[in-house]
Every structure is written in structure tokens, then in C-alpha cells.
A and B are shown apart, each in its own frame.
Chain A
Amino acid sequence: MVHPGYYAALSAVLFTIGVIGVLVRRNPLVIFMSIEVMLNAANLAFVAFGRARGVADGQIIVLFVMTVAAAEVAVGLAIIVAIFRARYRISVDDLSLMRW
């Protein structure tokens, strides 16, 4: 079988790609999706570690992470929609003010 260490390495690569997406892109929706990629990479690492130790705890933590991700996406997209309503353009570089 494939050793869980390879899954961990793959999750590290995916996490780095997500970081690059957050740093380089300007569209907040794409940044959000890159954050999802990072969350998924962390989940994959959790499952791989749980598999290496032969316990179910890693999978349970992933379950919680999925819940948090769902809540985060709901609130984050609501914030983006609210900003778009107020300013009619979305680029994270325009959003340097806390209030307007």
C-alpha cells in the first residue's frame, strides 16, 4: 500500500498551491477558493496521520473542519456580497478601509 507519508507530502504541495493563490490573486472569490484548497490539504494531512497511527481521531477532526469550512464560506460570501453592494467592484486591494 501507499505509505501515509506520501499523502502528507501531497497535502503539503496542495497547501502551498493554496498559499500561492491567496498571495497572488486579487479576486476575493478566487482567494476564498484557494483557502478551501488549503483547508482540504490540512484535512488530507489529518486523515493521513490518523491512518498512520491506526486511530479514528483524525477523521473526527476533519468532520469538525468541514463544519467550520461550511460556516466560514456562508459568512465570507455574505461579506463579499455586502461589499459588492456597497462599492460595485470587487478587488481586495480596494478594501483597505474598515468603514466608509
Chain B
Amino acid sequence: MEWVVFAVVAGCAVASAVGLVVRPNPLHGALYLVGNLFCVAVLYLMLRAEFLALAQVIVYAGAIMVLFVFAIMLLVPGKAEAGVDPLGPQRMLALPFAGLLGLVVVLVLPYAAARAPAPPAPGGVQPLGERLFTDYLFPFEVTSVLLLAALVGALTLARRRLP
């Protein structure tokens, strides 16, 4: 049963990622990306990472994608990539090299996970919170500084220059 769910969700994830790369309209790409994020959230649930699945839906599919759709609507409503490609056939060279990279990563990554899975850390959110606020307290605090820096940076960049 779990295999069936995994196969279906993995297929949806790959298909939506391909759709993002293939579709010329960035708005369609954003919708495909939302589908991909939801699929990954389901995979988190299957890996017993319930909190991350919720955070994925709220932060990624909610906040970040709204930001993306805002930017797309603000900049190029439905405009595809037009004009002659200055790189031309050179760009298609990317495909074999990306395929090579994919081959290497597909071969190496599962090898790194190849051991019998240990029982999951007990509970859902509780061990996560305990580790986060004891061992990982300093990175957690640094994260707040990062968010503040990003906030100030985005405001400065998007500010309309006064004459």
C-alpha cells in the first residue's frame, strides 16, 4: 500500500517539476511548482516528518508561492521568452551535462542512505523542538538575524529611487 502511494506521489512530483521546466508561461510554472511542493509535503508525511509537512504547505506553498505569483503578475503577465536566443545551440549542451550530473547523483545518494532504517525519533514535534532549543539554539537565533537582514535588503532594493 505504501509503495503504491510512494509511486503515485513520486510520479506526480517528477511530472510537475518537468512541467515547470517545460512550460513557457511562468504562471503555469508557478502552478506546477505548487503541485511539486505539495507532493514533497506528502513525502515528508510518509517519512514521519509531520511538522515539516505542515511547514512546507504553509511556508512554501502558501507564503513563498504567493510572493512568486505577485512578482510574475507585476512583471510579465503571460509573456513567454521571446526574441532570438543569443546562446543558441550552446544551451542544449546543458542537457547531456545535466544528465551526467543526474546519473552521478542518482547513483551516489541512495548509496549514502543504504542501511536498514532505524526506528524514527519518538513523537512528532516534541523531539524536534527539544533539539532545536538546546543543541541548535545558536543557529536558531542567527536565523532571526538572517530574516531581519533579508527584510531590510528587500526593502532597500525595491524602494523607488527619489530624484
Contacts and interface: CB of A to CB of B under 8 A. Distances in A.
A50 B67 CA distance: 30
Interface residues of B, number: 86
B64 A60 contact: no
Most buried by A among B97, B105, B146: B105
Contacts of A68: 146
B6 A2 contact: yes
Contacts of A26: 81, 85
Q: Sort chain A's interface into a size bin.
A: 35 or more
Majority DSSP secondary structure for residues of A touching B: helix
Contact of A27 (B81, B108, B112): B81
A66 B47 contact: no
Interface string B34-63: 001100100110111101100110011001
A55 to B, nearest CB: 6
B113 A23 contact: no
Between B2, B21, B29, B87, the greatest number of chain A beta carbons within 10 A of the residue's beta carbon is seen for: B21
Given A37-B33, A40-B40, A67 B147 contact: yes
Interface of B: 2-3, 6, 10, 13-14, 17-18, 20-21, 26, 29-30, 33, 36-37, 40, 43-44, 46-49, 51-52, 55-56, 59-60, 63-64, 67-68, 70-72, 74-76, 81, 83, 85-87, 91-92, 94-95, 97-99, 101-102, 105-106, 108-115, 117-121, 127-128, 131-132, 136, 139, 143, 146-147, 149-151, 153-155, 157-158, 160
**Top-10 shortest CB links A-B:** A54-B118, A16-B102, A71-B150, A23-B94, A5-B110, A78-B157, A12-B105, A21-B21, A78-B154, A8-B109
